[in-house]
Amino acid sequence: MRFRPGQSEVAAYRGGLLAVPAVPGAGKTTVLSWLAARLISEGLPRGGKILVVTVMNSAVANFTRKIGDWLEKRDLPRGSGFEVRTLHSLALQIIRQRPDAALLRDDFLILDGGYRERLVEDIVNRWIEGNRQRWQGVLKISDSHPRLAQTLEGWRLRTLDLGREMISRYKGQGLSPREAAERVGEDNFFAWTVEFYRSYQERLDQLGMIDFDDLLLRAWRLVEGDAELARRLCAGWPYIFEDEAQDSNPLQQALLLKLAEDHGNLVRVGDSNQAIMGTFTDSDPGLFRDFTRGPGVTALPMLQSNRSSPDIIDLANGLVRWSCQEHPVPACRRALEPNYIEPVAADDPFPNPSSPGYTLAVRSFADYQEEVREVSGHALGYVRRNPDKTVAILAPTNQLVADFRQVLTELEAPIYEICQYPAERRKTLDDLLAILAYLANPGDNQKLVGALSRLLPGLDEVAPVRGYLETVPVEELLYAEAAWPQSLREYDLWLEVQEELEGIKSWLGALHLPPANLVLLIAGDLGLQQQELALAQKIAVDIRQWQTINPNWRLPQVAEEVSRLTTSFLAAANVFFDRWGYSPEPGVINLVTAHRAKGLEWDTVYVVSVTSNDYPGLAADKIRAEFGWLPEEMVNPVAVAKAEMEGKDTGTAIAAAREELLCERLRLLYVAITRAKVNLLLTWSKKGKYGRLRPALALTELERLMKEKGGGPYSQ
Instruction: Give the pLDDT confidence of 563-572 residue by residue, as tens digits.
Output: 776 666 666 6
Question: Using alpha carbons only, how large is the chain's radius of gyration in Å?
Answer: 28
- Lowest-confidence segment of 407-416, 534-543, 598-607, 682-691 by average pLDDT: 534-543
Q: What's the chain's average pLDDT?
A: 89
What are the beta bridge partners of residue 611?
A: 695
Mean pLDDT of 106-119: 74
Fold for 110-207, please state it: Arc Repressor Mutant, subunit A (1.10.10)
CA 180 to chain centre: 29
pLDDT of residue 428: 78
Residue 346 CA to residue 337 CA, distance in Å, equals: 26
pLDDT of residue 715: 41
Mean pLDDT of 456-461: 82
Instruction: Provide CB contacts within 8 A for 553, sequence distance 6+.
Output: 515, 546, 547, 561
Residue 210 CA to residue 391 CA, distance in Å, equals: 42
- Residue range 7-96+216-302 in CATH 3.40.50.2300: no
pLDDT of residue 118: 82
**For the chain, domain boundaries:** 7-96+216-302, 110-207, 360-414+587-708, 424-574
Q: Is 599 left (phi over 0), alpha (psi -120 to 50) or beta?
A: left
pLDDT grade for 102, boundaries at 50, 70 and 90: low
Residue 675 CA to residue 602 CA, distance in Å, equals: 6
Mean pLDDT of 410-430: 76
pLDDT digits (tens, 9 = 90+) for 239-248: 999 999 999 8
Res 130 pLDDT > 90: yes
Residue 110 CA to residue 534 CA, distance in Å, equals: 18
What are the beta bridge partners of residue 266?
A: 17, 240
Going from the C-alpha of 672 to that of each of 301, 324, 349, the distances in angstroms are 21, 18, 26
Q: Annotate 280-301 with DSSP letters as a single string.
A: TSS--HHHHHHHHTSTTEEE--
- Lowest-confidence segment of 128-132, 133-137, 534-538 by average pLDDT: 534-538
Mean pLDDT of 394-416: 93
Mean pLDDT of 319-324: 97
Res 685 pLDDT > 70: yes
Q: Decide: 395 and 371 in contact? Cβ < 8 Å.
A: no
pLDDT digits (tens, 9 = 90+) for 547-557: 777 788 888 88
- Do strands 82-86 and 109-111 pair parallel, antiparallel, or not at all (unpaired)? unpaired
Res 714 pLDDT > 60: no
Least Cα distance to 34 among 5, 6, 83, 74 occurs for 74
Res 37 pLDDT > 50: yes
pLDDT of residue 569: 67
Q: Decide: 428 and 601 in contact? Cβ < 8 Å.
A: no
The full 3-state SS of 573-630, as one line of letters, equals HHHHHHCCCCCCCCCCEEEEECCCCCCCCEEEEEECCCECCCCCCCCCCCCCCCCCCC
Residue 664 CA to residue 625 CA, distance in Å, equals: 13
Number of H helices, E strands in the chain: 28, 18
* Winning range, highest mean pLDDT, from 98-102, 336-340, 354-358: 336-340
Domain spanning 424-574, CATH class: mainly alpha
pLDDT of residue 100: 73
Q: At residue 589, what is the residue type?
A: I
Mean pLDDT of 17-40: 96
Residue 608 CA to residue 610 CA, distance in Å, equals: 6
What are the beta bridge partners of residue 110?
A: 210
Instruction: Provide CB contacts within 8 A for 270, sequence distance 6+.
Output: 20, 21, 22, 242, 243, 244, 245, 246, 247, 248, 288
Res 317 pLDDT > 80: yes
Res 649 pLDDT > 90: yes
Q: Annotate 42-84 with DSSP letters as a single string.
A: H--STT--EEEEES-HHHHHHHHHHHHHHHHHTT--TTSSEEE
* Winning range, highest mean pLDDT, from 241-250, 297-306, 531-540: 297-306
Q: Decide: 265 and 18 in contact? Cβ < 8 Å.
A: no
Q: Which residue has the higher pLDDT, 487 or 605?
A: 605
The domains spanning 360-414+587-708 and 424-574 adopt the same CATH topology: no
pLDDT grade for 716, boundaries at 50, 70 and 90: very low
Domain at 360-414+587-708, CATH from 3.40.50.1000, 3.30.70.2610, 3.30.1280.10, 3.40.50.300: 3.40.50.300
pLDDT of residue 423: 58
Res 199 pLDDT > 70: yes
Residue 700 CA to residue 669 CA, distance in Å, equals: 13
User: How big is the CA angle at 103 (ends 102 and 105), to the nearest 5 degrees?
Assistant: 105
